[in-house]
């Protein structure tokens, strides 16, 4: 696998984040990046005050890097939600000292809903876990895309936002 220019590690545990305005879903994988599992859901309203939580998560789960879901329109354009996810990703990298990649999260919530329906989750159960399952889908998709391409995919958190009307690759 090709090493990226932003020091994103080729091995080690990853945590993925499904960043939302109400809740933040978190999932983690093993150091070999084979198995991923949902971890938890946190309230999102005061995420800027959660630095201690993310630093402790990095330490306790031995996280080597983060993947943050980037909401992209079907046409490839970005939105206000994309800007918020980018802001969170940049903050997360600065707060934890770990590299962060943004990864296209189109269809992750729909996939998470399908998985939960198939597993027989009740409506209340879905509401509590949907964001963690969406983070799991993001992480699994990221890992799979890296394997398929033979390189680290996604966008480094410090990369500039594309000009309005441009799509991301």
Neighbouring-strand partners of residue 24: 19, 42
Q: What's the domain count of the chain?
A: 1
- Has residue 101 been placed in a domain? yes
Confidence of residue 72 (pLDDT cuts 50, 70, 90): confident
For residue 161, is it within any domain? no
* Dist. CA 145–CA 160, nearest whole Å: 22
- CATH number, domain of 81, equals 3.30.420.140
Residues 6+ away with beta carbon under 8 Å from 36:
16, 27, 28, 29, 30, 136, 139, 140, 143
Q: Please state whether beta strands 36-43 and 23-29 pair in parallel, antiparallel, or not at all (unpaired).
A: antiparallel
Residue 41 lies in a domain: yes
Domain membership flag for residue 92: yes
| Spatial separation of the C-alpha atoms in residues 143 and 12, rounded to whole Å | 12
Enclosing domain of residue 58:
14-156
48-63 pLDDT per residue, tens:
999 999 999 999 999 9
Lowest mean pLDDT among 15-19, 32-36, 161-165: 161-165
In this structure, is residue 140 part of a structural domain?
yes
Residue 121 lies in a domain: yes
Whether pLDDT at 46 is above 70: yes
Please name the residue that has the structure tokens 């994103």: 8
Question: pTM of the predicted model, to two decimals?
Answer: 0.85
Flag whether pLDDT at 163 surpasses 70: no
């Amino acid at each position: 696998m090709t090493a990226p220019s932003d020091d994103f590690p080729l091995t080690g545990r990853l945590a993925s984040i499904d960043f939302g305005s109400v809740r933040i879903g978190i999932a983690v994988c093993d150091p070999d990046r084979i198995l991923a599992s949902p971890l938890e859901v946190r309230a999102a309203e005061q995420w800027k005050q959660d630095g201690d939580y993310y630093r402790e998560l990095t330490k306790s789960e031995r996280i080597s890097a983060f993947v943050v879901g980037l909401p992209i329109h079907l046409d490839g354009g970005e939105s206000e939600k994309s800007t918020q996810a980018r802001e969170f990703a940049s903050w997360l990298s600065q707060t934890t000292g770990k590299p962060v990649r943004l990864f296209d999260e189109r269809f992750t919530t729909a996939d998470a809903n399908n998985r939960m329906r198939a597993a027989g989750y009740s409506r209340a159960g879905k509401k509590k876990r949907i964001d963690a399952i969406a983070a799991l889908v993001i992480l699994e998709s990221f890992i799979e895309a890296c394997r398929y391409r033979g390189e680290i995919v996604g966008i480094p958190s410090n990369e500039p936002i594309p000009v309005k009307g441009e799509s991301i690759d």
